[in-house]
Amino acid sequence: MSILTQAKLHPSLQHQLHTSHSPILRTAVHCSAATTTKPNPNPNPKKLVLEPPIRRLEPPPPLLPNPTRPQLNDPSLLSTWSHRAWVASGCTTVLVSLAKSITCAANSHMWAEPILAGLVGYVLADLGSGVYHWGIDNYGGASTPIFGAQIEAFQGHHKWPWTITRREFANNLHALARVVTFIVLPIDLVCDDPIVNGFVAVCSGSIMFSQQFHAWAHGTKSRLPPLVVALQDFGVLVSRSQHSAHHREPYNNNYCIVSGVWNEFLDKHKVFEALEMILFFKQGVRPRSWSEPSSEWTEETETTSQLTAQ
Ligand SMILES: [Zn+2]
Ligand SMILES: [Zn+2]
C-alpha cells in the first residue's frame, strides 16, 4: 500500500509563493508504507509526501547602507573634547570604585576576597564583551535605538578592520565610557563594600578598555608595545591570532575581546549558534552571520597606496 498526500494551498498563498521574494521555510517529510500480507510487486514503493503548513519568516535584518570608505586622516577617526570628557568620567568612576575597594579592604584587613572579586570581574567582563559583540554584530541596524551607532560602527569595522588601528584612543573608547559612567557612578555613591567595589572596578574598567584591547588585537607585533605583545601571548589580553579568526569565514566565532578566555568554550559548545536558533524559532529573526558573506562582511584591506601615504 502506498499513499501520496499533498497539502492544498489557499489560492492567495499559492500566488504569494510564486510572486513573493520573502524567504519561505519549506519542510518536507518523506516516509513509505508497505503491507505485510502480500508481497509488494513494486520494489520502489511511492513515498508519502507531507507538506507541513508553510510558515512565513521575518526577513533578515535590513542591510546597512554601504558607507563611504574611510580615509587615513578621516575626521571620524579623531577624538573630540566630548570623547575625551566621557573617557575621563568613565576612568574617574572606575578609579573611585577601585580606591573604595582598597580603602575598605585596608580598614577591614580583608584582601583575598576583593582580589578574587576583581579576578571574577575580569573573567566575566570577557564573557560580557562576547555577548554584547555577538548581539550587535548579528541583530538590529543603524536605526536601532541606543545601539544603532555601535551596530553601524561594528559593521564598518568588519568591512575595514584596519580603521580601528587608526582611530584615536578617546574616539575608540567614548561610547563604552559613557555606559560605564552611568552604571558605575550610582554604585560608587551608595556602595562601600570592598568585594563589590573590587568586582565593579575591574569588570567595568575591562569592559571600557575592551575596545583598546580590540585595537591591539589588530596591531602588528612589530608596532605594538612589547608589554602588550607579552600580555597577548600569556592570554591576559585577547590575542591577535584569536581575533583574526573573527574576521574570517564563517564570521560567527571569537566574539570575546577582553582576554578571549571564553572564546574556545563558547565556540566549541556552539553557545551563540544555539541562542541564534532559539531567537529564530521564537521570534523568526535571522542573525546576520547566517547570510552568505556579502559586501558587509567582506574585508577591504588597506591598500598599498594608503600604507605608503602614512
Ligand atoms: Zn564583529
Ligand atoms: Zn576586530
Q: Could you tell me where the beta strands, DSSP code E, fall in the chain?
A: 24-25, 29-31, 48-50, 55-56
CB 310 within 8 A of CB 72: yes
pLDDT for 3 equals 38
Torsion of CA 114, 118, 120, 121, to 10 degrees: 130
pLDDT digits (tens, 9 = 90+) for 109-124: 999 999 999 999 999 9
Point out the ligand nearest to the CA of residue 257: 2
pLDDT tens for residues 286-299?
A: 999 888 555 444 45
Whether residues 45 and 93 fall in one domain: no
Question: Percent of the chain having pLDDT more than 90?
Answer: 62
User: Do 19 and 100 belong to one domain?
Assistant: no
* pLDDT score of 302 more than 50: no
The dihedrals phi and psi of 29, each to the nearest 5 degrees, come to -115, 125
How many Å lie between the centroid of ligand 1 and the Cα of residue 107? 43
Q: Is residue 230 part of a domain?
A: yes
**Cα(211) to centroid of ligand 2, in Å?**
9
Give the SS3 label for residue 29. Answer: strand
CA of 300 to the centre of ligand 1 (A): 15
Query: In the structure, what pLDDT confidence band is assigned to residue 95 with cuts at 50, 70 and 90?
Result: very high
The Cβ of residue 291 has, within 10 Å, a number of other Cβ atoms equal to: 15
- Asked if the model's pLDDT at residue 31 lies above 70, the reply is no
How far away, in angstroms, is 54 Cα from ligand 2 center?
A: 39
Can you name the residues that pair with 11 across neighbouring β-strands? none
**Residue 132 falls inside a structural domain:** yes
Q: Is residue 82, in this structure, part of any structural domain at all?
A: yes
* CA 246 to ligand 1 center in whole angstroms: 7
- Provide the number of structural domains found in the chain: 2
Asked if residue 88 is part of any domain, the answer here is yes
Q: Which three cell numbers stand for residue 108?
A: 577591614
Does 262 have pLDDT greater than 50? yes
Ligand 1 center to 251 CA (angstroms) = 8
CA of 88 to the centre of ligand 2 (A): 24
Residue 74 has a pLDDT of 80
Question: Rounded to the nearest whole angstrom, what is the distance from the C-alpha of residue 65 to the centroid of ligand 1?
Answer: 17
Do 167 and 87 lie in one domain? The reply is yes
Determine the structural domain holding residue 222 and report its residue range. Answer: 75-308
2 in a structural domain = no
* Ligand showing the shortest atom-to-Cα distance for residue 162: 2
121 and 48, same structural domain?
no
Query: Under 8 Å CB-to-CB from 261, ≥6 apart: which residues?
Result: 123, 126, 235
Ligand nearest to the CA of 217: 2
Assess whether 39 and 179 both reside in one domain.
Answer: no
Q: Residue 246 C-alpha to ligand 2 middle, in angstroms?
A: 7
Whether residues 42 and 158 fall in one domain: no
Range ranked top by mean pLDDT from 2-6, 34-38, 126-130, 219-223: 126-130
- Cα–Cα separations (whole angstroms), residue 288 to 6, 100, 127, 160, 270: 34, 42, 21, 17, 16
